[in-house]
């Protein structure tokens, strides 16, 4: 059996490094396609939960974890010495920003070093983590080639950007079209064959660099358009015009306009981070990215804008934020999921507590905070949302518009509401205590 036929067969083992919001859904897709899967993660708690049939990503449901645990086609481990068991290794690890907004590729560098220790003839290694063009070639290929083996003959390397959108109902891992770009033609062909076993539509591009750049363009497009509506929100607010009504009006045009919505800042792993990967790489080749950087500045300024609106609302009511009780509604960065990565809610809480406010939160999907790279663990638990609890706060700050929240009750029972998501637009009754931010 030649290499291409091998990767088209069900006999291969697919290894996934990193079992988080990207890696676990991908592992599930290959498992459901009938392949043997082997998951790797440095967190033993994740491994234990999966082996017990318990899922820690609630938006994926519980049934698949039970199916994994009861199958001889699944195993999960913290032992990276077992990487050699996989015919294909897919890297789904974080690519965060450093203190000065520089790319932090330490997770990818370590993964490449770990894979190199057990690299064997015929293995395919695919990077899925968001990064700047050239990373796959400069880091992954370089590290694996140092073993003395040759890419395109002894092993194969490709890039395929993740396109996960947790909580989305109209698309999932299997139905979202998959881009694939190889370091060389045979690597791209093998990666295409691999993903075709689990993904409905796979599009092969000419190189890993094209696939890397496409991922950044997708998220920079969103970042720039979100920055546009965030800036429009601030301008229209000063004019006394409702930005939400303006967006709804613009949406009636059947061409030339796509609706994006303002908020208290950007969240998730991709949009707040990816643009800075390109701006950093652009400087290396002597180019500036003024448009992209301006969008980043606008989006990063939004938590401060929200806090200023809240301060003004307190002042108009002759109240002090220092010592005031504030309830933040929504800790997740988007509605109806438990994903808190890069959520602007944490920035809002930090700024308000710095001003002396006593801040709690409610989120039906996030019962308690946990440790994160940027914020650590702020040590809070979601408080029950009741008429009595709402009346006990000086202000309710809406940061995420979860559909499980009774917004009419929030409107009826709160003393003051600062709404960053347009959640109050449909409520009935008085509106003099609602401030759009």
Query: pLDDT of 315-354, one tens digit each?
Result: 999 999 999 999 999 999 999 999 898 899 999 999 999 9
Instruction: Please state, in angstroms and rounded to a whole number, the distance separating the CA atoms of residues 91 and 175.
Output: 20
- Residue 271 pLDDT > 80: no
Q: Examine the pLDDT at 275 and tell me if it is beyond 90.
A: no
Structure token pair of residue 152: 């395109």
Q: How far apart are the first and last CA of the chain?
A: 62
Burial string for 235-271 (b: 16+ CB within 10 Å, else e) reads ebbeeeeebbeebeeeeeeeeeeeebebbbbbbbbbb
Tokens standing for residue 138: 């400069």
Residues 6+ apart with CB under 8 A from 151: 141, 144, 145, 157, 183, 184, 187
Element (H, E) at 436: strand 434-436
Q: How confident is residue 279, by pLDDT bands cut at 50, 70 and 90?
A: confident
DSSP code per residue over 301-353: HHHHHHHHHHHHHHHHTT--STT-EEEEE--SSSTTS---TT-HHHHHHHHHH
| C-alpha dihedral (209, 163, 127, 299), degrees to nearest 10 | 70
Share of the chain above pLDDT 70, in %: 100
Higher per-residue confidence, 394 vs 9:
394
Say if residue 272 is in the same domain as residue 351: yes
198 plus 271 within the same structural domain? no
Three-state secondary-structure class, residue 285: coil
Q: Regarding beta strands 178-182 and 156-159, do their DSSP bridges make them parallel or antiparallel, or are they unpaired?
A: antiparallel
Q: Are residues 251 and 141 in the same domain?
A: no
* 229 domain-assigned: no
For residue 228, being part of any structural domain is answered with: no
Boundary-marking domain end, from 153, 180, 206: 206
Q: Of these residues, 92, 151, 270, 395, which one is catalytic? A: 270
pLDDT band of 1, cuts 50, 70, 90:
low
- pLDDT at position 365 is 94
Is residue 101 predicted with pLDDT exceeding 90?
A: no
Is 132 contained in some domain? yes
Average pLDDT over residues 417-425: 96
**Number of separate domains in the chain:** 2
| pLDDT value of position 269 | 72
pLDDT band at 84 (very low <50, low <70, confident <90, very high): very high
Q: Are residues 196 and 245 in the same domain?
A: no
Report the C-alpha gap between 174 and 199 in whole angstroms: 4
**What is the pLDDT, as a whole number, of residue 312?**
97
Query: In which domain, by residue range, is 53 found?
Result: 3-206
Q: Which two tokens stand for residue 318?
A: 């002759």
- pLDDT at residue 277 greater than cutoff 90: no
* pLDDT tens, position by position, 349-391: 999 999 999 999 999 999 999 887 777 788 899 999 999 999 9
Same domain, 158 and 250: no
Closest by CA to 130, choosing from 159, 99, 173, is 159
The answer on 121 and 264 residing in a single domain is no
Q: Are residues 406 and 310 in the same domain?
A: yes
Long-range contacts of 189-194, Cβ-Cβ distance < 8 Å, separation of 24 or more: 189/4, 190/3, 190/4, 190/7, 190/124, 190/156, 190/158, 191/124, 191/126, 191/156, 191/158, 191/160, 193/4, 193/7, 193/8, 194/7, 194/12, 194/14, 194/88, 194/124, 194/126
Domain containing 385 — which CATH number?
Answer: 3.40.50.720
Percent of the chain residues past pLDDT 90, beyond the cut: 80
Rounded mean pLDDT, 87-105: 90
pLDDT at 266 over 90: no
DSSP β-ladder status, 88-91 and 13-17 = parallel
Q: What is the C-alpha separation between 209 and 217, in angstroms, rounded?
A: 12
- DSSP, res 382: P
Question: Tens of pLDDT along 222-244?
Answer: 999 999 999 999 999 999 999 99
Do 252 and 197 share a structural domain? no
Q: Is residue 225 part of a domain?
A: no
Same structural domain, 64 and 201? yes
Question: How many residues in total does the chain contain?
Answer: 437
Is residue 151 among the annotated active site residues? no
For residues 388 and 26, give the distance between their C-alpha atoms in angstroms, rounded to a whole number: 43
Instruction: Describe the crossing of helices 290-316 and 208-239 by its angle, rounded to 10 degrees.
Output: 30
In a domain, 214, yes or no: no
């Amino acid at each position: 059996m030649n290499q291409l036929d091998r990767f088209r067969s069900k006999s291969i083992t697919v290894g996934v490094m990193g079992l988080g919001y990207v890696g676990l859904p991908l592992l599930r897709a290959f498992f459901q396609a009938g392949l043997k899967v082997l998951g790797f993660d440095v967190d033993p708690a994740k491994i234990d939960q999966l082996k017990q049939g318990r899922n820690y990503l609630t938006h994926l449901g519980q049934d698949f974890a039970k199916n994994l645990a009861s199958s001889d086609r699944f195993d999960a481990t913290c032992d990276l010495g077992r990487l050699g068991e996989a015919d294909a290794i897919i890297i789904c690890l974080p690519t965060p920003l450093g203190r000065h907004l520089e790319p932090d590729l330490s997770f990818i560098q370590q993964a490449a070093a770990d894979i190199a220790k057990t690299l064997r003839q015929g293995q395919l290694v695919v990077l899925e983590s968001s990064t700047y063009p050239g990373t796959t070639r400069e880091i992954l290929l370089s590290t694996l080639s140092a073993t003395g083996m040759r890419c395109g003959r002894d092993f194969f390397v490709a890039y395929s950007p993740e396109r996960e959108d947790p909580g989305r109902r109209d698309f999932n891992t299997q139905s979202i079209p998959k881009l694939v770009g190889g370091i060389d033609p045979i690597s791209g062909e093998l990666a295409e064959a691999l993903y075709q076993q689990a993904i409905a539509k796979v599009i092969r591009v000419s190189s890993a660099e094209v696939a890397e750049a496409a991922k950044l363009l997708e998220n920079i497009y969103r970042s720039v358009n979100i920055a546009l509506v965030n800036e429009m929100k601030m301008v229209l607010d000063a004019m006394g015009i409702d930005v939400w009504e303006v967006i709804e009006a613009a949406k009636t045009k059947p061409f030339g306009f796509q609706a994006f919505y303002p908020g208290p800042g950007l969240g998730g792993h991709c949009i707040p981070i990816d643009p800075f990967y390109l701006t950093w790489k652009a400087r290396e080749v002597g180019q500036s990215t003024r448009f992209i950087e301006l969008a980043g500045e606008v989006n990063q300024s939004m938590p401060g804008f929200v806090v200023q609106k809240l301060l003004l609302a307190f002042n108009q009511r002759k109240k002090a934020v220092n010592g005031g009780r504030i309830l933040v509604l929504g800790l997740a960065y988007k509605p109806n999921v438990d994903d808190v990565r890069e959520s602007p809610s944490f920035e809002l809480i930090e700024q308000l507590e710095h001003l002396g406010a006593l801040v709690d939160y409610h989120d039906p999907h996030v019962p308690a905070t946990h440790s994160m790279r940027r914020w650590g663990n702020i040590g809070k638990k979601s408080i029950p949302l009741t008429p009595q609890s709402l009346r006990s706060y000086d202000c309710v700050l809406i940061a995420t518009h979860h559909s499980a929240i009774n917004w009419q009750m929030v409107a009826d029972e709160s003393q003051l509401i600062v709404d960053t998501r347009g959640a109050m637009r449909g409520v009935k009754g008085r509106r003099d205590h609602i401030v759009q931010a």
